[in-house]
């Protein structure tokens, strides 16, 4: 039912357990969705597109409700399309989700609507608040951009209320991100603990016994190798463990850990908001300049992704020679996943340590047991031996 804007905003009055600003923004946004029907359909179409659902136009009636009592839980906004499909929105400004908040919504929605008839969408001030596995997570600044897109449409009449709502988002640091963004300021103090905690994890993991479990990824005692000291951020933007390799003797080198700054490695993170957890295979182009043109390397990069897909489907295989015009020849192979996915669902340091060991071991086992890796390693060792004999 359509109401006046001021009547709608009366609903935001402070109540116990509620955040007035979040209610205010929700009621103002809901008023636009209800009273500007074309924009309401446009918004849901954008949501469906981001969830990779059918991109058909929404031509059925849409009913929007704020603070709906859904079996004792109260999502901020619910859209019912054609009386059959339910879009449940939880809106956050800069506050965190309550414990199991989205899980409680899921339980209520599945009981009320059925597991196939609803979608759960989280809207927050920043990406660092994305949590509890909604069907879709959005930032308010993305909605700000969608409003601009809607207003730029040639069939839209000028509407100062949309601009007022955008100004409200901007005033709360949720407009287009500035160079020094509201989100980065709020996230600064929590982020200060990230590197020390990662360092503590890899220092503990360095004593796991990798050499005994994966001897082919450890230094060959017949060559003048020296195992790199583990547990520290190196000059190349990483925190992790060098399982094998000094710069002049990789056969191949193997790094295990976190790529906090991908600049030196000439790549971009899998997700722009989270560093990579990576196993990086390294080679020495000074000793063997054309190793990447060898048959053994070609065989390796063809076989390894297939084995990883079967054994470690969470990881992405990156062949830097195939994806970059100016590849980093020292670090040709990255096997990686977003750090946030590695630790998803963990709550304690022990759980995170066990997750690190489990996922690392699966990948290393896949590499070491691959005949094509063994052949590539033998080829590198032969080249190294020749190099040492002639030096």
- At which of 142, 160, 188 does a domain end? 188
Residues near 353 by beta carbon (within 8 Å), at least 6 away in sequence: 201, 204, 205
Q: Do 79 and 215 belong to one domain?
A: no
Residues 259 and 342 grouped into a single domain: yes
Per-residue CA distances from 185 to 86, 179, 191, 194 (Å): 35, 11, 10, 15
- Do 146 and 217 share a structural domain? no
| pLDDT (tens place) for every residue of the chain, 391 residues total | 455 565 555 555 555 445 578 888 999 999 999 999 899 999 999 999 999 887 555 778 899 999 899 999 999 999 999 888 999 999 999 888 998 999 999 999 999 999 999 999 999 998 888 888 899 999 999 999 999 999 987 666 778 899 999 988 998 889 988 788 888 888 788 788 888 899 889 888 888 888 888 888 765 444 333 333 444 456 788 888 888 754 446 788 888 999 998 988 999 999 887 899 999 999 888 888 889 999 999 999 999 999 999 999 999 999 999 998 899 999 999 999 999 889 987 888 999 999 999 999 999 999 999 999 999 998 888 776 555 444 4
CB 101 within 8 A of CB 132: yes
Domain boundary among 156, 188, 220: 188
Residues 220 and 339 in one domain: yes
Helices (H), the chain: 5-9, 20-35, 37-50, 101-113, 140-152, 160-171, 182-191, 194-205, 210-213, 295-311, 320-323, 339-342, 349-368, 371-390
**For position 245, what pLDDT does the model report?**
56
Q: Which residues contact 153 (CB under 8 A, 6 or more apart)?
A: none
Judgement on whether residues 239 and 306 belong to the same structural domain of the protein: yes
Domain match, 210 and 241 both = yes
Residues in the chain: 391
The answer to whether residues 134 and 234 belong to one domain is no
Range of the domain at 243: 193-390
- Domains identified in the chain, total number: 2
**What is the chain's percent helix, strand, coil content, to nearest 5?**
45, 15, 40
Specify whether 291 is located in the same domain as 156. no
- DSSP-derived 3-state class of residue 381: helix
Last residue of a domain, one of 153, 172, 188: 188
Examine the domain organization and report whether 134 and 25 are in the same domain. Answer: yes
* The predicted structure's pLDDT at residue 194: 87
Q: Is 350 found in the same domain as 366? A: yes
Pairing, β 62-66 against β 77-81:
antiparallel
Do the beta carbons of residue 34 and residue 40 sit within 8 Å?
A: yes
Shared domain for 178 and 208, answered yes or no, is no
- 84 and 223 share a domain? no
pLDDT recorded at residue 19: 56
């Amino acid at each position: 039912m359509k109401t006046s804007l001021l009547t709608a905003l009366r609903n935001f009055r402070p109540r116990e357990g509620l955040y007035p600003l979040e209610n205010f923004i929700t009621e103002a946004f809901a008023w636009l969705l209800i009273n500007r029907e074309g924009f309401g359909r446009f918004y849901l179409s954008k949501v469906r597109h981001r969830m990779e659902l059918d991109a058909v136009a929404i031509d059925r009636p849409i009913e929007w409700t704020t603070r709906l009592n859904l079996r004792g839980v109260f999502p901020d906004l619910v859209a019912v399309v054609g009386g059959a499909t339910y879009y449940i929105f939880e809106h956050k400004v800069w506050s965190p989700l309550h414990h199991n908040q989205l899980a409680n919504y899921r339980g209520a929605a599945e009981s009320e609507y059925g597991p196939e008839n609803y979608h759960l969408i989280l809207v927050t001030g920043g990406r660092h608040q994305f949590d509890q596995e909604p069907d879709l997570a959005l930032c308010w600044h993305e909605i700000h951009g969608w409003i601009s897109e809607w207003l730029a449409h040639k069939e839209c009449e000028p509407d100062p209320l949309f601009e007022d709502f955008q100004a409200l988002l901007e005033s709360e640091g949720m407009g287009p991100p500035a160079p020094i963004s509201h989100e980065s300021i709020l996230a600064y103090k929590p982020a200060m603990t990230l590197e020390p905690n990662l360092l503590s994890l890899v220092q503990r993991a360095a004593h796991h016994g990798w050499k005994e479990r994966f001897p082919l990824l450890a230094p060959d005692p017949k060559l003048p190798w020296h195992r790199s000291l583990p547990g520290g951020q190196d000059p190349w933007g990483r925190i992790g463990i060098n399982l094998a390799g000094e710069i002049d003797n990789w056969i191949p080198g193997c790094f295990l850990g976190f790529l906090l700054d991908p600049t030196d490695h000439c790549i971009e993170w899998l997700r722009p908001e989270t560093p990579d957890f990576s196993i990086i295979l390294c080679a020495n182009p000074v000793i063997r300049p054309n190793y990447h043109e060898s048959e053994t390397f070609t065989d390796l990069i063809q076989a390894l992704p297939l084995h990883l897909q079967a054994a470690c489907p969470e990881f992405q295989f990156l062949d830097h020679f195939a994806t970059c015009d100016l590849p980093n020849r020292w670090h040709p192979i990255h096997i990686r996943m977003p750090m946030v996915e590695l630790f998803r669902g963990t709550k304690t340091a022990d759980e995170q340590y066990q997750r690190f060991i489990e996922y690392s071991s699966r990948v290393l086992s896949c590499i070491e047991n691959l005949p094509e890796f063994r052949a590539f390693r033998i080829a590198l060792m032969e080249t190294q031996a020749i190099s040492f004999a002639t030096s």
